[in-house]
Amino acid sequence: MMEVIHWAGRQVHPDITHEQLAIEIAQIRSMRFSGLSEKGLVVLCLLRGCRITGRESREELINHLKRQEGFFAKIRRKTRRWLGKRVEKMIGDPTQATPPPSQEPVNQPTGPVSGPRPQALREEVEDSGFFGGIANRVKRQADSYVNQKLDEIEARIDRKLDEIDRRLAEWRDKEIANRIRILKITLWASVFVAGVVFDLFVYSGGNETMEPTRPPASVHHAYLTYGPRQYYQKYGFSYRNPHEPIIRELIRQILLTWDPDCSFGLDLAAGSGEVTLAVRDVRPKSLLEGVDPYTHLLYTTRTGLPCLPLSFEDIAAGALRGRCYSVVFCSFALHLLEESRLPGLCWALGEVSDQWVILTPHKRPVIRPQWGWDLKHQMLFQRVRARFYQRTTKR
Ligand SMILES: C[S@@+](CC[C@H](N)C(=O)[O-])C[C@H]1O[C@@H](n2cnc3c(N)ncnc32)[C@H](O)[C@@H]1O
């Protein structure tokens, strides 16, 4: 049945039912049978009401169809055919250029898969009448024009979509490369910052403040600017005494001349262990521990010895009570304590030791005998004083 539909140059929906196909075929009036197979002829005969057995030859089937056409219908068809030829001659018909010319106009064999056969204009006029044929042709031309334009638009849209796809892929690649670069930079920056922080931590001996700035060149000015407490809180992690060589020499002379008992000494306000290291240089077997509220970690890092984080004020309040030292050293520090608090400290130190060595670049502090200490010796080396005190027996 589809073959007949295609042979007649008609188009139907692919899902059309058999009944609808039969109605469609019954409306075909064409009497040009070339290109139609015997099966197609049988279908046509049956739907046009011819009495056939199905064993007829092709010619017999065509004769049946011709006989079935009425006289007036034949006249009308011939008239339309004549009219079709005239119209075709007047306006021309490009359809004829498509299939090779044949005796019968444009009847190409149609297979089950081929599309509708292109009909010549005269054929259309013959089948559908003058107006119907012309209208069909105009409609078909319009359809093909619209289809052609739609195809062009579709191709253009496809090209644009491909272009967008390509650009998106490019953009995505660039974006990924960018993000990887940012990640790398972040990673390296983190490693760098971590390295710097680690260096500072090591440099500061692990001081909690981890202050990255170096101490100012003049300690005197820094004291005036910050005050001793703030100065050591800020720069204590990196403290170094610029007079350390003088301290070393003085300690050497003290040990050789006054011979204090260094079996278990206390380095008070120990800084970075200047006195402790100097004592150990001369008396390697001596044992010392430090006390300093700000530089205790630095002292331990530099000397490898313990250091209590205690201030003069803590000691005056009895923080060392119960401990016992053979000697107390205090170098370059006692002037930092308020004078009013000095007696309290002296008494507290008298409870833990019999000997006290003070190193100072000033005349201060003056330790009075009524505070429990007698001055036994003193020496001056490069404007730094060393004083040796013995605890008074009267207590
Ligand atoms: C000039 S440094 C002397 C350090 C070391 N003894 C030397 O000879 O180089 C003064 C030290 O006193 C400490 N210090 C400051 N205020 C203190 C206080 N109130 N009590 C105890 N120590 C203090 C500081 O931490 C610092 O280590």
The alpha carbon of 142 is separated from its chain's Cα centroid by a whole number of angstroms, namely 56
- Distance from the CA of 217 to the center of ligand 1, in angstroms? 17
The token pair at 67 is: 């006989």
Indicate if the pLDDT at residue 54 is higher than 60. Answer: yes
Q: Which residues line ligand 1 (CB under 6 A)?
A: 228, 232, 236, 239, 241, 247, 269-271, 274-275, 292-295, 311-312, 331-333, 336
Ranking 198-202, 258-262, 273-277, 315-319 by mean pLDDT, the lowest is: 198-202
Give the pLDDT band (50/70/90) at residue 110: very low
Q: In this predicted model, what pLDDT tens digit does every residue of 167-187 receive, in sequence order?
A: 999 999 999 999 999 999 999
What is the distance in A from the centroid of ligand 1 to the CA of 336?
8
According to the model, what pLDDT value does residue 215 have? Answer: 58
The pLDDT of residue 230 is 80
Whether residue 295 has pLDDT greater than 80: yes
Percent of the chain with pLDDT over 70: 87
pLDDT at residue number 155: 94
Q: How many A from CA of 33 to the centre of ligand 1?
A: 124
Lowest mean pLDDT among 78-82, 253-257, 291-295: 78-82
Confidence at 395, pLDDT banded by 50, 70, 90: low
Q: Give the number of the atom of ligand 1 that is nearest the alpha carbon of residue 267.
A: 6
Q: Residue 207: is its pLDDT beyond 60?
A: no
pLDDT digits (tens, 9 = 90+) for 329-364: 999 999 989 999 999 999 999 999 999 999 999 888
Closest ligand 1 atom to Cα of 292? 22
Residue 313 contacts residue 341 (beta carbons within 8 Å): yes
Average pLDDT rounded to a whole number, residues 52-66: 88
Please name the helix (run of DSSP H) or strand (run of DSSP E) that holds residue 359, with its range, or none: strand 355-360
**pLDDT over 70 at 372, yes or no:** yes
Q: What is the mean pLDDT of residues 17-41?
A: 86
Position 297 scores a pLDDT of 93
d(CA 312, CA 337): 7
Bridge partner list, 308? 291
pLDDT confidence of residue 316: 96
